[in-house]
Amino acid sequence: MAEKYDSAVKLADGNYWVGYTEAESAFRTNAYIIESGDEVALIDAGSIVYFDSMFKQISKVVDVKKIKYFIQHHQDPDLCSSLPEWEKKIGPQKILAHTKSNILIYHYGVKSELVNVDLEGWELEMPDRKIKFIFMPYMHSPGEIMTYDTKTKVLFSGDIFGGLSFDWALYANEDYFEAMDAFMEHYMPSKEIVNANLKKIENLEISMICPQHGSIIPGDRVKEAIENMKNLDCGSYLYE
């Protein structure tokens, strides 16, 4: 049985899970919030399909008028299609993504300023913390990024480390790596690309990994999760 949450969950100082758990699906979407002083960044805003429920859930933990940034790890509809709905509620803000993602996010008809993090030093300064963006090209999108909160050491990883499972739990259970393989083997392009990108996070201090699908990986299982992914036959290998 999947867990159900009707409110946001605090993960760390200023970091919240604000996903959606009503739909019975193996393909679950997580969104997250970084609240820092009077600013809020919404990470991977979500699907238009769940917008009303997510809006209510997010409104319970933060003043939505404080949302200044939409951090979008890539351009897929499961994380971007709600952006025009958000703009109707709180007006245009700033969408932070890689240049290669923003040229596609533009086609959702968004009015927000498109900020290309690759041209802005890969960083965002918030009132009480610095946010860093890590380039993970082709995992699975050419402009894929991850977001790292330097204060809490939480790594928001987008599709990377995502999992597929009806038996969903907020924090990864003992079967999670199986769920992770089921998603990653189809969405990641090749072992070479995966391994080259994973080098960028291997020496990073990580308190937890928060993916856009599946479950949160706690700090004591991060090394194991990285090792598991390094050895995964994915993408092009499946069709050999």
Least distance to Fe ion from the beta carbon of 152, Å?
23
Residue 90 or 103: the one with the smaller Cβ distance to Fe ion is 103
Q: Helices 222-230 and 176-187: crossing angle, nearest 10°?
A: 40
> Is-contact 202 223, C-beta < 8 A?
no
Instruction: List binders of Fe ion among 121-180 (CB under 5 A).
Output: 159
What is the phi/psi pair of residue 200, to 5°? Answer: -70, -20
Please answer whether residues 84 and 108 qualify as being in contact, where contact means their C-beta atoms are separated by less than 8 angstroms: yes
Nearer to Fe ion by Cβ, of 22 and 38: the residue is 22
Closest approach of Cβ 28 to Fe ion, in Å?
Answer: 10
Judged by beta carbon, residue 69 or residue 161, the one nearer Fe ion is 161
φ/ψ bin of 91: left (φ > 0), alpha (ψ from -120 to 50), beta (otherwise): left
Pull the structure tokens for residue 88: 């109707």
Closest approach of Fe ion to the CB of residue 95, in Å: 16
Instruction: State the Cα–Cα distance between residues 104 and 101, nearest whole angstrom.
Output: 5
Closest CA to 212 of 151, 176, 159: 159
Choose one: 32-40, 144-152, 192-200, 207-215; the region binding Fe ion (CB under 5 A).
207-215
Smallest distance, Å, CB 79 to Fe ion? 6
Our CB check for Fe ion shows the closer of 28 and 221 to be 28
Q: Which residue is nearest to Fe ion (CB)?
A: 76
Asked whether position 78 contacts Fe ion by CB under 5 A, the answer is yes
Residues that bind Fe ion (CB under 5 A): 76, 78, 159, 212
